[in-house]
Structures are given as C-alpha cells and as structure tokens.
Amino acid sequence: MYPTFKDGDYILVMKSKNFKIGDIIVFFSGENGSSEKLVKRVVAEKGMALEYVKDGKYIKISSGKEFNKDSYIIPDGFLFVMGDNLQTSYDSREGWLINRNLVIGKVICRLFPPKLFFVNFLKK
C-alpha cells in the first residue's frame, strides 16, 4: 500500500464487515489456504461495472447501470481492491476479486511510526 503505508508500519484494524468504497481493508489472500494478510483499498463492490483500459492497468468504474459489452459486473459477495501504488501493486487488476468472507477488517489508524500517525475512522 505504498505510499500510504510502508513495510514496518503498525496499523490498527477494526474487525468489521461494514466498509465502503475508499476504505482500506485487511484480508487473507486466500491463495491455497494461505494465512498471508494483504492491505488494499476497496474500489468497487457488488453491482458496479468495471472496464479495463490501457492493458488492464487502469480501470473505469461505473454504477452498473452505465456499462457496455466489455464491462465486468462485480458479483454479490465480492470486492475489487487496489493498492495505492498503481504502477507496481499486485491487486484485483490481475484478475482476482476478494471474497467478503476473507476480510478481517478496516484500517482505522497507523500506530507506528509516531510521526506518521493518522486516524481514519473519524471521516464519514
């Protein structure tokens, strides 16, 4: 999630399945029963339409009512997530979605390093 978070940052996660577009979540990767945790930003959820642009590195997102024959509609129970470093992030643009059941919770603040402390849960 660079540049928002860096390796070694400590984050506080609120266990929850209640989040919205733009929230940063922590989830199990789900690959081969892996317990690896990933941190990504939610950019689309059920019913939203995605259209890949420029070799799949950029996407156009719409409400689902404004889609064409090349659009992909996010199915119920899944999320489309992306990292903040768009050039190098391994995320849903690689062709995978996150099952909502694999979500641990929502990042509410960075605890360490102290000079970069921020709180996310005060925003509505």
Residue ranges of domains in the chain? 10-115
Look up the pTM and report it. Answer: 0.77
Q: What's the mean pLDDT when you consider all of the chain? A: 79
Q: Please tell me the predicted confidence (pLDDT) of residue 52.
A: 72
Residue-wise pLDDT for 7-65, tens only, equals: 788 888 999 888 889 999 999 987 666 788 889 999 989 888 888 776 656 677 777 56
Contact 103, 23 (CB under 8 A): no
Fold of 10-115: Umud Fragment, subunit A (2.10.109)
C-alpha span between 25 and 110 (Å, rounded): 13
Q: Please tell me the predicted confidence (pLDDT) of residue 18.
A: 87
Mean predicted confidence (pLDDT) in 105-124? 67
Mean predicted confidence (pLDDT) in 99-123? 74
